[in-house]
Structure 1
């Protein structure tokens, strides 16, 4: 027998015996059962759903329009259909509420939910929040399983976690890993950030799926990955359950998230500013402007103060400040640590409903329903004054009043407007029909809300 033949026989038997060995792994080690996630997952997987959303967009073709006109053919609207696959987690079985990501169902005309038991349902959109990438949908179904939302504040780096989702549309898939980092921020392309980082495999389609601890409780909603190639490289991010629950509560109650503002403008501390203010390092943000009667103003902050911490979160730059401000809940106390004249100070303030940075028009006046108002961005305050309509829906009362996206409301009842808080107070107190001044394309218009 040749040497080559002998090698082939030996290779065959080595593979054969290796297969036998792998097929009979021990069920016990030193008298103790081999750990398994199976018992936990039996209760978890029925609560994780697959989501299939469809979006229809009207498109126009110049060539098609020309040929229709030339040959006298009727104009038929054309549509582009896009589909999205993702995951979701049932967190309230009695009401059929499902947590998922905003980017999974954003703009969808149809949302289909598939359960592990094979049932499928058309979901109703309850609300979305683009800032945190959280969305809540609802299905009308019985005999649902739900996951318990636990406080993610108790998680520690090194804790074991399990990710459950629908990667690449393959169906329910389970991966495991550990928590690699907590409170992760400064990620490009994402909104308000306070992520759990994990090395559990998260791939496209896992978005909106569950990140659980080893007792089967929900600690996060899988939302994003860092990947140069588009596939998993062991760096995934999940929205902490504590944040997801806060957002969900507002979406269920209001259909939107109400965010407040401290009422200040800030900028980064440069090396030159650090030397000028005799700072040890160029960390923090310097206050450049303060709105009258804002939470920061009532707390006693002044232009030139250097904010170094909001509650327990250190502020290194403007991105940190914007991120933390956007995550504050209304009607909660906020501790602001700052430096003034080389002395460290701490003041406390509260952001209430009037201090919000955006309002739906109907919250201001019934005739403004359908419009969305925001405070004027800092980059525009040097040249303009008022509050801005950044979105408006056709056919709504605000649209029928003649308002359009990009309009500035500069006065209300002959009083100059500098913030949404001021506008709301004026309209709430108005006993007569409100009169607004609208600035558009270098011209002013008078609008009577009747």
Structure 2
């Protein structure tokens, strides 16, 4: 027989739901041009207020897109306001929309707390969002994994992070929904799932929280990278790649319960790591700091934009240390385009280069009518919004 929640537990969840509902908004948007990895079109999604004073809403990058965006949000009291992009991450699946807080009437704005450290296997969660276009939908589940490699989609694909996994049965329109616990704080961001299955994928909130703090402090969100795609590999696979017993002991003693290590999966040609790293290199340390998770990796890169970092990897059982310059991701993220007839021209982005294993240079050409046809045929896409 299934466990019946106690009265106090049910009341706690009800308080959490009532609190979160006031933060959640439905998003209606239009992307008039196909740009980078995203297609033109209209859609619905979800977001939630993370800074009531500044009017900031957290949602997915694949909702905002990398190009022109027009959108509006609808609050719980059915008030509609225009929004515009404040920030969209060059790699990870999150971004911030901005609205005018003074225009909100008849309700008190509150912001949702971001608590990335509270997501653990077995955590009971709920998701409130615009599921299948039905605003205010409430879904439930349990986090089953916190170390999943990012899913691969037909268009935009996140990388150099891990995702959480749960079975909450979210569908289209849920993208950008807050994943929250019984205390009503966000522990993850709904990002995608599998069609015809109940599996959902959540983005950890470490990167969104770091970016939010930089925006709140009035600074620019600095993002760095070395043009290498890393993935998590089980330790037994790393042993086959040449992980030494000595290095394995250091990892296991430092992080008991560690099951995976960060391994280079793809090195882009002509990038900072070209000729220095290879696919299959096991990442050991950066600037002397042991790397056991993606958050440590991204933090080091973001804090050393334009600087040289010392990267220690193990290849075929041998330690190899390389000095690599961290590139500013804004340099390989296009911010404008040129349109002739129904054809779009813009610089090749890191996203496109990563997908096709190209150098981050040259011009990307997209025929608008082809993009429209692709949108009609993209029924297998796995993003939930």
Q: TM-score scaled to structure 1, two decimals?
A: 0.54
2:87 matches 1:134: no
Higher relative contact order, chain-length normalized (CA < 8 Å, sep 6+) = 2
Q: SS of 2:141's equivalent?
A: strand
Matches within 5 A, 1:402-441: none
User: Could you say which structure has the higher helix fraction?
Assistant: 1
- Deviation, structure 1 residue 291: 8.1
Query: Against the structure 1 CA distance between its residues 87 and 338, is the aligned structure 2 distance closer, same or farther, given a 3 Å change threshold?
Result: same
- Deviation, structure 1 residue 308: 4.3
Paired residues of 2:46 and 2:175 also in contact (CA < 8 A): yes
Paired residues of 2:174 and 2:190 also in contact (CA < 8 A): yes
2:96 matches 1:149: no
What residue number does 1:55 align with? 31
Query: Against the structure 1 CA distance between its residues 154 and 235, is the aligned structure 2 distance closer, same or farther, given a 3 Å change threshold?
Result: same
Give deviations 1:160-195, integer Å, cap 9, x for gaps: 111110112211111221111002114221222421
- Deviation, structure 1 residue 200: 2.2
- Deviation, structure 1 residue 147: 0.3
> What is the Cα-based RMSD across aligned positions, in Å?
4.9
2:7 matches 1:40: no
Gaps of 5+ in 2: 103-107, 234-238, 246-260, 336-344, 366-385
Matches within 5 A, 1:44-443: 44-56=20-32, 82-106=41-65, 107=67, 109-129=69-89, 131-142=91-102, 143-150=108-115, 152-189=116-153, 190-192=157-159, 193-227=161-195, 229=196, 233-249=197-213, 258-261=223-226, 284-285=263-264, 306-309=281-284, 311-313=290-292, 329-331=301-303, 336-339=311-314, 342-344=317-319, 352=326, 355-356=327-328, 358-359=330-331, 388-390=361-363
Q: SS of 1:236's equivalent?
A: strand
Q: Which structure is larger by alpha-carbon Rg, 1 or 2?
A: 1
Paired residues of 1:127 and 1:255 also in contact (CA < 8 A): no
Q: SS of 2:126's equivalent?
A: strand
Aligned length: 307
Q: TM-score scaled to structure 2, two decimals?
A: 0.62
- Deviation, structure 1 residue 128: 1.6
Gaps of 5+ in 1: 1-26, 59-79, 269-273, 315-319, 364-369, 382-386, 393-450
Query: Against the structure 1 CA distance between its residues 337 and 241, is the aligned structure 2 distance closer, same or farther, given a 3 Å change threshold?
Result: same
- Deviation, structure 1 residue 260: 2.2
* Alpha-carbon distance between aligned partners in 2 of 1:109 and 1:289, rounded to the nearest angstrom: 29
Query: Against the structure 1 CA distance between its residues 172 and 329, is the aligned structure 2 distance closer, same or farther, given a 3 Å change threshold?
Result: farther
